[in-house]
Amino acid sequence: MVASTPAVSRRRPGLARGVVRTAILLLILAIVLYPLIWMVGTSFKGQTEIVSNTGVLPREFTPGNYTDGWSHFDVSFSRFFLNSTMVALLTVIGNAASCLVAAYAFARLRFPLRGFWFAVMIGTLLLPQHVLTIPQYILFKQFGWVGGEWPYLPLLVPQFLATEAFFVFLMVQFMRGIPRELDEAAKIDGASPFGIFRYVMLPLSRPALVTTAIFSFIWTWNEFFRQLVYLSDLSDYTIPVAMTLFIDSTGQSAIGPMFAMSVLSLLPVFLFFVAFQRLLVEGINTSGLKG
């Protein structure tokens, strides 16, 4: 009978810990993904089965929920996808461009009361969005933007004015980590402040820009309240607002199609996250969000 060697004895506790750790992680993953899996399974259930069957798998496969949900309204659901995509992409462009310029001013330029205005900007992070809704609505109403020919102006114009203080702060923290010697070298070569921004800060700020773009897209795609306030026409609705129409005040609820469209509405966010996952992790690690 051959006795086990010390190396094998040491390897067994490590292997056991690895198995236990993997099992715990799989259990946590199952708990986290269960609501999503349940929603996908429910999207294939019939109207009555959704209420009676709380399990994941449907007893009777009903793929018609997807076609019914897509053509449930007078306007095709593709219109809502187009509206959400347009609003999300323009918000990404506006936030990335305006917040980058504002962050460059706070991080690199010298102007009167710079510290005061930076503190005011940080202070806006403490204001709940709902507190600002009524003043903003009155202001946009006076501009003629509410109920006008282009109802998306209240949603998009502020994004081009660096109103997202979180992204400005994120980029400021990132730019403060860039050596100022690069600015001095560019000045020696005759670069103006705009030239320093264009040829030094802009290329080096790519990780922060990517992080801003990803979070802007996801948050705007899922945003509901502001879009509900400013969008009144069915053809102008985005996906979050359109989803509320599946349950009306008369009790005629299309729950199955609602779950089916909920699954489809998650796909762009999921694909966007998968496509830019590496850049998102890189941006978080290098743009001041790390602990």
Span 197-247, pLDDT tens digits: 998 899 888 888 888 988 899 999 999 999 999 998 899 999 999 998 887
Residue-wise pLDDT for 267-283, tens only, equals: 888 888 777 777 766 65
What is the number of alpha carbons within 13 Å of residue 12 lying toward its C-beta? 6
Q: What is the pLDDT of residue 289?
A: 41
Q: What is the pLDDT of residue 286?
A: 55
Whether the pLDDT of residue 195 is over 70: the answer is yes
Residue-wise pLDDT for 29-45, tens only, equals: 889 888 889 999 988 98
Q: What is the pTM of this model?
A: 0.83
Q: What is the pLDDT of residue 58?
A: 86
Q: What is the pLDDT of residue 51?
A: 80
Q: What is the pLDDT of residue 137?
A: 93
Closest CA to 69 of 267, 259, 249, 234: 259
Residue-wise pLDDT for 125-144, tens only, equals: 888 888 889 999 999 999 98
74 φ, ψ to 5°? -65, -25
- CA 264 – CA 145 distance, rounded (Å): 31
Mean pLDDT throughout 138-161? 91
Contact partners, residue 98, CB within 8 Å, separation at least 6: 159, 160, 161, 162
Let me know: does 92 contact 157? Beta carbons within 8 Å: no
